[in-house]
Chains A and B, each alone.
Chain A
Amino acid sequence: MKTITVNNNKIDWQEGLTIDEILKIMNYSFKMLVVKVNDKLVKKDEYKTRIIPENADVKIIHLISGG
């Protein structure tokens, strides 16, 4: 089974997987995110289009107001 890692959790990889789909799979409903795939920044306008390769290390950071 091919997989990717999302915030240290292994999930199944499939052809054409996008950030938007990963957010659904992970049940993440946060609004303010910073996303890195293999340590490279992915901006919001690419969440629907950027294809995530197999074995990718995806980090999704939830930013919270307060400071």
Chain B
Amino acid sequence: MLQIILESTIGIAGAGGLGSNVAVALARVGIGKLIIADFDKIETSNLNRQQYFLKQIGEPKVKALRANLMRINPFSNYQIHHIKLDEKNIPIIYKNVDIMVEAFDKAEMKKMLIETWLSHFPKKPIIAASGLAGFGMNNKIHQKKIGNLYICGDEETELKEGFSPMAPRVGIVANMQANLVLEMLLM
């Protein structure tokens, strides 16, 4: 069981509320290699749900995330890309991953990644998240499988203008994604 985990490579697209939480969970599990890409820098408003610290504000998220992951588990390999992902670079950056995790914020980016992934790697699983805004409603959060595309979330809670998602619900969905990664690797 441990050997499979150590030999696995997982892609994470985005290092915000979903991506940073997925990365921390998978680093704690001891996944051999994580490939993480994000173009953004840390802002104060991110700290309500993302795995960063106050003194890291202004740093590129991927750089700060690798530093934090190294403090949790220095024995895994964290490959980071400070880049905006698109249809062209996704198939290059993530071509060697076993499982892809969609961890974007914006719906149009989620769509872009899922369609790019299904077009290039129809046989490799992709785990996306949709519907995690607000609080409460644990019972509405679920997982769905459509071939090699998996969706975690409630699939209905829209983000209200001017509001960020909140740590508990983003954390639940991010950890569902990480949990599904483990299930796929070990089953």
* A residues whose Cβ falls under 8 Å from a Cβ of B: 31-34, 36, 39, 41, 43, 59, 61-67
A43 CB to closest chain B CB, in angstroms?
A: 6
Which single residue of chain A is at the shortest CB-CB distance from B158? A64
Chain A: which residue is nearest B117 at the CB level? A41
What interface size band does chain B fall in?
A: 35 or more
Give Cα A66–Cα B135 distance, bound, in whole angstroms.
13
Contact across chains for A34 and B114 when beta carbons are under 8 A apart? yes
Q: Please, could you name 25 A-B residue pairs with CB atoms under 8 Å apart, sorted by A?
A: A32-B107, A32-B111, A34-B111, A36-B146, A36-B149, A41-B118, A41-B119, A59-B146, A61-B146, A63-B107, A63-B114, A63-B130, A64-B131, A64-B133, A64-B159, A65-B158, A65-B159, A66-B132, A66-B157, A66-B158, A67-B19, A67-B103, A67-B132, A67-B165, A67-B170
Leading 4 A-B pairs by shortest Cβ distance: A32-B107, A39-B147, A67-B18, A67-B105
Q: Is B157 a contact of A34 with CB atoms below 8 Å?
A: no
Q: Can you name the residue of chain A whose Cβ is closest to the Cβ of B164? A: A66
> Roughly how many angstroms separate A41 CA and B111 CA in the complex, as a whole number?
11
Which B residues are within 8 Å of any A CB, using their own CB? 14, 16-19, 103-108, 110-111, 114-115, 118-119, 122, 128-133, 144, 146-147, 149, 151, 153, 155-159, 165, 170
A67 touches B16 (CB 8 A): yes
Query: Which residues from A are CB-within-8-Å of B158?
Result: 64-66
| B18 cross-chain contacts in A, Cβ below 8 A | 67
CA distance A49 to B18 in the complex (A): 36
- Pairwise interchain contact B146-A64, C-beta atoms closer than 8 A: no
A-B contacts besides A36-B118, A67-B132, A67-B170, 15 pairs, CB < 8 Å: A32-B107, A32-B108, A32-B111, A36-B147, A39-B146, A41-B118, A59-B146, A61-B144, A61-B149, A65-B110, A65-B159, A66-B105, A66-B158, A67-B103, A67-B104
Instruction: State in angstroms the CA–CA spacing of A33 and B118 once bound together.
Output: 14
Chain A residues within an 8 Å CB radius of B133: 64, 66
B155/A62 in contact, CB under 8 A: yes
* Most chain B Cβ neighbours within 10 Å, of A34, A59, A66: A66
Write out the residue numbers on chain B whose beta carbons fall within 8 Å of the beta carbon of A34: 111, 114-115, 118, 149
Q: B52: shortest Cβ distance to chain A, in Å?
A: 15
A43 / chain B contacts, CB cutoff of 8 Å? 115
